[in-house]
Structure 1
């Protein structure tokens, strides 16, 4: 079931709600620059196990509105708060992948984990996505700036190049085309603005404030958010568990989808 939720004047966020009568709810936040459909192989399996799965298209992505401004983690966390309150969700599991993980972390800090019982961070773009003078991990600012240049000059080629390093394992040509098509449904402007957010934001102060059990899932071969970021999040978040995906890159939700789904179900139950 798909519908829209108004989060502010002129901005409507698209929601996919599967198995809404289930007692246990999982809210999924996708990564850059895809949309909720990247979790197809969670949405067709986890509801069978009795979970309500809610997918969000972040502003500027998928079927959601694409405003000209407001693509900070704060604003996207505010959108998540409106969605949770509008749907009257309680005791949910919040799952964020890549930039979606960063948004989930900011939500937990900004709203003190409002109505979130458990948190899952999958290949999250945290503690910081880019290298800093006091943080020698992650992606270089120069690489992000080059992605920005490609986004503004040849976005289809940028998406193709990005998808080439997104997954570690072999993918069919059809799957690659499908995944790239998800990324190209995004607004070009939102794609660029969220790259700037990824480049410039810092979540190190947010992580210690997370007070719920947290499952960190991270691919050992991740070329976008290196595995060391998962290790650092595990250090920063007190009640956290780190699970390595030995055969995955950034796309662990698909590359080891059975393990991914099993770890989530085990964590929730």
Structure 2
């Protein structure tokens, strides 16, 4: 079931709500530059097992409104709060991938984890997406600058190249095209704006404000958010557990989807 939630007078967020009668709820936050459809292989299975799966499209992406402004971590975390309040969600699991993981971390710190009972960080872009003087892990700032420049100059080419980095395992031509089309559904300016937030924002002071049980799932071969980010997350977040995915890159929810789904289910059931 799909519908819209108004988070600002002129901004509506698209929500895909599957199995509303499920006993336990998981709210999925997608990564850059895709949308909620990234979690197709979770939405296919988890509702059958009694889970309510909610996927949202971040503003500027997928079927959500695409305003010119509002792509900071704070604003995107506020959008999540707007959805949580509108749907009256309580005692749910928040699961964020890549920048969606970063936004989930900011949500936990900024809104005191409102309504969240458990957190899942999936190849999360935290505590920082780029290398910094105090943290020598992540992408080079110049590489992100190049992504932003290519977004403005030839976004389809940028998306194709990014897709080649995304997965460790071989993907079929059809799957690569499907993944490419997810990125095209975003606005070019929102794609660039969120990449700018990825480059400029950090979460060093947010991680120690997370107090719910946290599961960290991360591909060992991730070329976008290297595995060292997951190790830093586990070190800084209380009551956290890191599960490495030995045969995955950034797309572990597809590359090792059976293991991914099992780890998620086990964690929620604990």
TM-score (ref. length: structure 1):
1.00
Deviations 1:176-224 (A, max 9, x none): 0000000110010000000000000010100000000000000000000
Cross-structure match for 2:159: 159
Number of residues paired by the alignment? 269
Runs (4+) of structure 1 exceeding 4 A deviation are none
Deviations 1:65-121 (A, max 9, x none): 000011000000000001001000000000000000000000000011110000000
Cross-structure match for 1:218: 218
Cross-structure match for 2:189: 189
Deviations 1:145-182 (A, max 9, x none): 00011000000000000000100001110000000000
2:212 aligned counterpart, secondary structure: coil
Structure 2: distance between partners of 1:23 and 1:130 = 39
Cross-structure match for 1:241: 241
Show structure 1 runs of 5+ residues with no match.
none
Q: Deviation at 1:233?
A: 0.3
Show structure 2 runs of 5+ residues with no match.
none
1:154 aligned counterpart, secondary structure: helix
Cross-structure match for 1:136: 136
Cross-structure match for 1:75: 75
1:4-83 paired onto structure 2 within 5 Å: 4-83=4-83
Cross-structure match for 1:101: 101
Structure 2: distance between partners of 1:226 and 1:176 = 22
Structure 2: distance between partners of 1:24 and 1:146 = 41
Structure 1: distance between partners of 2:82 and 2:169 = 37
- Does residue 258 (structure 1) correspond to residue 258 (structure 2)? The answer is yes
Structure 2: distance between partners of 1:75 and 1:227 = 27
Structure 1: distance between partners of 2:172 and 2:34 = 18
Deviations 1:7-27 (A, max 9, x none): 001100000000001110000
